[in-house]
Amino acid sequence: MIETYLLEQLVAVRKHGTLVAAAESMNISQPAISKSMKKLEDMMDIQLFVRTNRKIELNKTGMFFADRAAELLSQEENMLEQVYAYDRNLRNISVGSCAPIPFWELTPVLTSLFAEMSVTTRTEDNDHLIKGLKQNLYQLIVTSCDPKNSDFYTAKFITESMSVSVPKSHPFYNLEKITPKDMQGQFLIVYNEIGIWEDWIHDHFPGIHLMTVSDTDALRDAIGLGAALSFVSDYVANMGYHNKEQKIVPLDMEDKTITYFLSCRKKDYSKYRKVFGRLISR
């Protein structure tokens, strides 16, 4: 069989036209290429070049060979990538979610069940998540709607509800409930990466002034100033992560709750059965 470096050099010659240019592109000397091409012809036992004085040119067969060789080399590269991807998937679990909260539940379970594996998380919209799971870019995804894909195993996961956290000095402080209409013109502090909730805000709270903060400490401080409203999810509140000097006032609206769905590929269900078992039961 022909060694790879010979094919690489052949392709370089085809690409650059001359031995000099090909040699330069590969950081080797011209005589090296010259000999390699001779060796190729010797091994194949057919003419690949027409050699006039001072010029060497690929003949038809040589060009055909070089083009095929280029294809083969790209297939080889592709193969190596596949091997790396395969290996990575053996020691890493990629989890995608449309919002960050589900990670709070998922990550601890995954790291304890798959101690020897690394866990990668990423927040994306539902469409990308579903596409990603199909392509095995994700092994687990959390969406805000049922993907209803026959290749997926899907189960209802957790729910998350939004309320408003109101500072003492704010006129809403004594309200029992707050409607989306109330919120028009209000300033609202939110965390940068809230995934699907960002769309939710834009859809249900037109005319609101968002102040996004990309750092969790800065977020806490900004809320602590007591100058503006902020959203607080029941999950955050239950964990005690909200500002206790502010009052949590429920929203008076239908869609204040999102139901999350956890999915994996049916192929992989046996591998992640325990994950579903631990998370879905309660």
Partner DNA sequence: GTCGATTACGTATTACGTAACAATT
Partner DNA sequence: AATTGTTACGTAATACGTAATCGAC
Binding site for its own copies (CB under 8 A): 1-5, 8, 44, 46, 60-61, 64-65, 68-69, 71-73, 75-77, 79-80, 82-84, 86-87, 90
Residue 62 as a binder of DNA (CB under 7 A): the answer is no
**Choosing among its own copies, DNA, none, which partner's interface includes residue 53 (Cβ < 5 to 8 Å by kind)?**
DNA
Tokens (6 digits) for 220: 């806490």
Partner that binds at residue 49, options DNA, its own copies, none, CB closer than 5 to 8 Å by kind: DNA
Contact stretch for DNA (CB under 7 A) within 48-56, 77-85, 104-112, 151-159: 48-56
Task: CB nearer to its own copies: give 77 or 146.
Answer: 77
Determine if 18 is a binding residue for DNA (CB under 7 A).
yes
Instruction: Report what 208 binds from DNA, its own copies, none; CB cut-off 5-8 Å by kind.
Output: none
Using the rule CB under 7 A, is 39 a contact of DNA? yes
Hey, is 158 helix, strand or coil? strand
How far is residue 117's CA from residue 154's CA, in Å, rounded to a whole number?
23
Cα gap 68→9, rounded to integer Å: 13
The reply on whether position 237 binds DNA by CB under 7 A is: no
**How many CA atoms lie within 13 Å of 89's alpha carbon, on the beta-carbon side?**
15
Least CB distance from residue 32 to DNA, whole Å? 3
Tell whether residue 5 is a contact of DNA (CB under 7 A): yes
| Smallest distance from DNA to CB 74, Å | 20
> Minimum distance between the CB of residue 8 and its own copies, rounded to whole angstroms?
6
State the Cα–Cα distance between residues 50 and 56, nearest whole angstrom. Answer: 6
Tell me the one-letter amino acid at 126.
Answer: N
Tokens 């995934």: give the residue.
195
195 φ/ψ sector (left φ>0, alpha ψ -120 to 50, else beta): left
E strands in the chain: 49-52, 55-58, 92-97, 118-123, 140-143, 152-166, 187-191, 209-213, 229-233, 247-250, 257-265
Sign (positive or negative) of CA dihedral 206, 209, 214, 219? negative
Q: Interface with DNA by CB under 7 A: which range of 20-28, 94-102, 164-172, 255-263?
A: 20-28
Binding part of the chain for DNA, among 25-33, 64-72, 109-117, 220-228 by CB under 7 A, reads 25-33
Count of CB atoms situated within 10 Å of the CB of 6? 16
69 binds, among DNA, its own copies, none (CB under 5 to 8 A by kind): its own copies
Q: What does the binding site for DNA look like in residue numbers (CB under 7 A)?
A: 3, 5, 9, 18-20, 23, 27-32, 34-39, 49, 51-56
